[in-house]
Structure 1
Amino acid sequence: MPKELQNCILFDRATPLSFPRCFAYFTMKNRIPQILTKVINALNQHKNEFFEKHGEAGTEAENKAVSLISKIRNELQADEPLLPLTDNWVDTDIWNKYLEYQHSLLNENNKKISWFHSPWLYVECYMYRRVHEALMLSSPISDFDVFKESKDQNFLESQEAIMSLCNYLEELNRRIKNLDEHQLKDEFFKLLQISLWGNKCDLSLSGGQSSSQMSSPLTALEDLKPFILVNNMDNLWSVLINRKKMSQEKFPSIRVDFVLDNAGFELVTDLVMADFLLTSKLATEIHFHGKSIPWYVSDTNKNDINWVLEELKAANTKCMFECGVNWELYFKKHTWIYQDHMFWTLPHEYCTMAQVAPDLYAELQKSNLILFKGDLNYRKLVADRKWEFTVPFHQALNGFHPAPLCSIRTVKAEVQVGLAPGQGEQVTVSDPNWMTTGKYGIFQFDGSV
């Protein structure tokens, strides 16, 4: 393993009672078993479908998958040792080598290598990877997305909010040529905030329970502004508007990358934001980075995007229909490009990307601005450590600087950096649970390259 990677991982052990371990125990005893139970229920509910499609082989595969998922749940609840993966997925060897390395680190300190006695970020990712393994070992239903219905439900229950957002975009596109720079900036900020608060719709946080957006997100933006703890939207505007002004003279394109989080309503807010960037000429190409396997209940993969586009095209309202048609065309013309990479579903912190996935790091270096959506991306950006609130974001990135980047996140995990002196303590006094509710948000920018 490269020395740089070892140093990055070892630094994660700086405080023995840091947040990842303390929070892991509570979460695994509660939320994670709920998610595994829902996975089992999803398989049971499709038993007849598997039989109709695959005959007895489908029934046997469903039984096997349920048995393997139940085994994971039992191992977790009994705090048993973590086991190597046994499937033949593209990342299996990487996961198993990483498990060996975790063993070597923890054994040095006489720690038990088990669900409750390993770093939280690693074990949580491991659980979702084990779910994927259970499906991989259960052919011919290996491609079944156990989280699909939850993601679809989030979209369907958010129809009113999606319709209002699509309608707003349609009206904005009609008048965008008449907006001066100040007005364009205001619209940019408005859609950024909608993308931020769309991140509240996180099904892994709710244990798979409904977390849909029931009302228009446009009406609440002013009321929500006080809950933005770090607001670097001006930095994002400066990057793009300056590039736009220069592009006419020196640069042929402006590239923005979205590292996606949740499907459903949040995905629609990201697509609306991307549409605006194109129409306003603040970007000329958009790259979306999603997951290659079902992940963290509601994370976006390629099938989720295709399903949303089909649902929008089938809608009875003109604005939703036109969004579906236009967005599908953007993908066909490669103005919008979807990409996935196995690194996004590894347990590694992003400071290791240049060593573990140099091809992905090189791809991100082509971007003019990378927008990292959501809580898991933030945890991996700053390595899920128990940082002091005032540690600079740049420092917490630990050398991860492929391009100017911004974390757009509602706060749902007990890790946060880059706050003003006393700010975190002040919020804690007024709201002791502020780090786990999704009530607060950040736009946290780093322009280093």
Structure 2
Amino acid sequence: MSKNELSKKNSKSSQALKSSKTSIGSGNQTNTKSWEDDSQTPDFIYGGPFIKLEKPSPFLDTATPINLQLQGTFKKSFAYYSLKERMPRILTKVIDYCSREGAKIKTKSGASDEELRNFIQYVTKLKNDLMTNKKYSKLKVDTPEAKRWNEWIEQAENSYYFTNTWVFTECYVYRRLREGCELQKGLQNFDPFDEQKEKAFENSIEPMCVVAEKVLTMLPQSEKDKRKADFITLLKICLWANKCDLSLSVGEQVNLQGVVEAATPAEGATAAEAQTPVVQNTILDPFQMITDFKDKILVDDSSKAVDQVIAKIEAIAKAIEGEANLSASKAALTPAAPTAPAAPAAPAAAAAEGAGGAVGAEGAPAEEPPKIPCPAKMVIPQFVMFDIVCDNAGYELFADLCLAHFLVAQKIVQKVRFHVKKIPWFVSDVTPQDFKYTIYQCRSVNFKKEVPQEPPKTAAEGEAAAAPPPTRVIGSDSLRTLGDQWQAFLDDGTFIVLCDDFWTSPHTYKDMKKYDYNLYRKLQFAAAVLFKGDLNYRKLLGERNCNPVLGFEPALQGFIPAPIIAVRTVKADLICGLPKGRYEQLMKLDEQWMQKGDYGVIQFCGKAEPLKVAEKPCLDYGEECRGLGCPVHKDL
């Protein structure tokens, strides 16, 4: 090598070594294929002796700085731990499930041996790509939704697992897991988490029976103060139900107190003890939890939320009534159309068949169902509706259904719309299949348990010792009653289940109007929207580690389609609306308090963007808009 060439090479080396000392900010500026330990794949330069070429690392040994988005580059953040530990374990459990229960999966889904093998190989590679911080691969399936995903990957500021935002990477991994099923014909309807969700439901039957019994007493119409108190109680039942999150526990079963039920026997247990289930001799009473966990609710806007939502509902009901009266007045003033000449008589059945429509009494055509204005033109909803953006299946969905039933039974609202995920998502999120399964199981469950109770405190010591301890019988009769009514509500349109693609996109909610204008407008028809759980909370806050004392409304960054209630147990390191000094106090008690689900918030923003005529045609009929003669829409 000439002196000139050696000089050039040493000059490049010097520049590289200088660049290694450059401080990296949030990590978004650096695209790197290497894992945090670059010594595994060292780069060398000539210059004898060999000198290791150091690279700037995007990984910083800090928590997520304030006002930056959560991502896996901050090694003291929950995002880093989640991507490095939790998600690989979730994928490993999917692989283990497919290997262990292959015969059952093939029988249920109709998949072949080869298809199941292909899926296992696909998930194994996905896990390896995640663990080694590879660049995102584009989706291969040919659907409009997959094409949109590929556009988002191309547009991402950073397209590596750890250096992009945490929410993008998590959503991408679950979308890729779904693609693994889509690429195998026999696994099109396979849910890799179905077994875990079914076990979670079975493990929650007792508290469901306890809650169902009490909820039945809340349904008869009651006076204002009791109605408000019951509304608040059910919001708190929904809050603590959010502790049962299988993605946080990496798929291990979690009881209502948030304790993970270990899949392996305790250390030192005998073989017999390992096979013996633990008998629970106390009642798992979610209503008692509300009292016990009172001090664990860091922000409790439940009273304000109930007052303002009911006031909003009353205003909407008056507007709907006024609109109906106006329409009736216009109809009365409109001259009747001329009567057509009488047609020859025809048998009623033949007339019905020929007209292709319904026939009323005496063979006369039945009245057509009333037409509604196009949703894109509406400025007043047709019904008083309450929306729930669901989180986990099982006990949490059951709690959501109880709240929805209460709102309908008390005539607070006319309809409740449940927004669920179209595909298996974050282990235990509700899909349409989970919704049907939950109601079916509630209708058919057969459960009975006698639980010993404490003897009355008034009893004398000798008396208490002589008498057998009193027992309480927990049964499933009330649960079956609720399940039957929920099925009826589904059948008659009182309960509506919706699953828009946006809920399984990587976008935060401040960008909903940009990426899914129709969904944003759909939410505007609701009197209020209840967002459940941690992922929804992260997306509400834009996946941004805002100052903990920032108010809930500014933290939403302009996302106000309707009044918003956020109900969440804290399982990720971002939060807003805390009283001054509370965050620092909790950090002193436990630096990892935000990762455990021990604390909760019920937060409310009463602001809402006014409902105006839409900028775009409605999604159902598009450019073929029927104006004021709009057919019935599936989401209203």
- TM-score, length basis structure 1: 0.90
Corresponding residue for residue 391 of structure 2: 261
8 Å contact 1:50–1:58 — kept in the other structure?
A: no
Number of residue-to-residue matches in the alignment: 427
Equivalent residue, structure 2, for 1:280: 410
Please report how far the alpha carbon of residue 235 of structure 1 lies from its aligned counterpart in structure 2 after TM superposition. Answer: 2.5
1:232 equivalent in alignment to 2:301:
yes
Are 1:196 and 2:252 an aligned pair? no
The AA in structure 1 aligned to 2:228 is K
Is 1:78 the equivalent of 2:132? yes
8 Å CA contact retained: 1:239, 1:369: no
Distance 1:66 1:230, change over 3 A: same
Q: What is the CA-CA distance between 1:433 and the residue it aligns to?
A: 1.8
Paired AA for residue 561 in structure 2: P
Correspondence for 1:385:
544
Summarize the alignment of residues 276-425 of structure 1 with structure 2, pairs less than 5 Å apart.
276-316=406-446, 317-425=476-584
Kindly indicate whether the alpha-carbon contact (under 8 Å) linking 1:50 and 1:59 is maintained by their aligned counterparts in 2: no
Deviation at 1:171, TM superposition (A): 2.3
CA 1:333–1:17: 2 relative to 1, 3 Å: closer
| CA distance in structure 2 between the partners assigned to 1:14 and 1:231 by the alignment | 26
Q: 1: distance between equivalents of 2:68 and 2:494?
A: 47
Give the whole-Å Cα distance in 1 for the aligned partners of 2:419 and 2:98. 28
Deviation, 1:129, is: 0.8
Q: Highest CA radius of gyration, 1 or 2?
A: 2
Give unmatched runs, 5+ long, in structure 1: 1-8, 107-112
Deviations 1:12-67 (A, max 9, x none): x9979754332333222211111001111222234223544677x62111011000
Measure, in 2, the Cα distance between the counterparts of 1:83 and 1:442.
37
> Is the partner of 2:593 in helix, strand or coil?
coil
Q: How much has 1:445 moved relative to structure 2? A: 0.9
Distance 1:60 1:16, change over 3 A: farther
- Contact kept? 1:240, 1:283, Cα under 8 Å: no
Kindly state the Cα deviation for residue 91 of structure 1 after the two structures are TM-superposed.
Answer: 1.5
Mapped pair 1:48 → 2:103? yes
Counterpart among 28, 33, 37 of residue 88 in structure 2: 33
What CA distance in whole angstroms lies between the structure 2 residues aligned with 1:15 and 1:243?
35
2:291 equivalent in structure 1: 222
User: Which of 254, 262, 269 is matched with 1:211 structurally?
Assistant: 254
Q: Does 1:242 align with 2:285?
A: no
Please tell me the residue identity of whatever aligns with 1:141: L
Equivalent residues of 1:79, 1:114 under 8 A apart: yes
Secondary structure in 2 aligned to 1:115?
coil
User: How much does 1:291 deviate?
Assistant: 0.1
Say whether the 8 Å CA contact 2:109–2:190 is kept in structure 1: no
Query: Contact 2:567–2:603 (CA<8 Å) still a contact in 1?
Result: yes
Distance, in Å, in 1 between the alignment partners of 2:163 and 2:313 is 50
Indicate how the Cα distance of structure 1 residues 243 and 401 shifts in structure 2: closer, same or farther if over 3 A, else same: closer
- Work out whether residues 256 and 367 of structure 1, in 8 Å CA contact, stay in contact via their aligned partners in 2: yes
SS in 1 for 2:247: coil
Q: Deviations over 1:132-170 (max 9, x none)?
A: 111111111121000111111111001110000111112
Could you tell me how far apart the structure 2 residues matched to 1:290 and 1:17 are?
29
Unaligned runs of 5+ in 2: 1-27, 30-63, 258-283, 322-382, 447-475, 609-636
What secondary structure does 2:320 align onto? Answer: coil
**What TM-score do you get using the length of structure 2 for normalisation?**
0.65
Write the distance in 1 (CA, Å) between the matches of 2:559 and 2:442. Answer: 37
Q: 2:401 aligns with which of 255, 261, 271?
A: 271
For residues 355 and 256 of structure 1, the distance between their equivalents in structure 2, rounded to whole angstroms, comes to 23
Counterpart residue number, 2:188? 142
Matched, 1:436 2:505: no
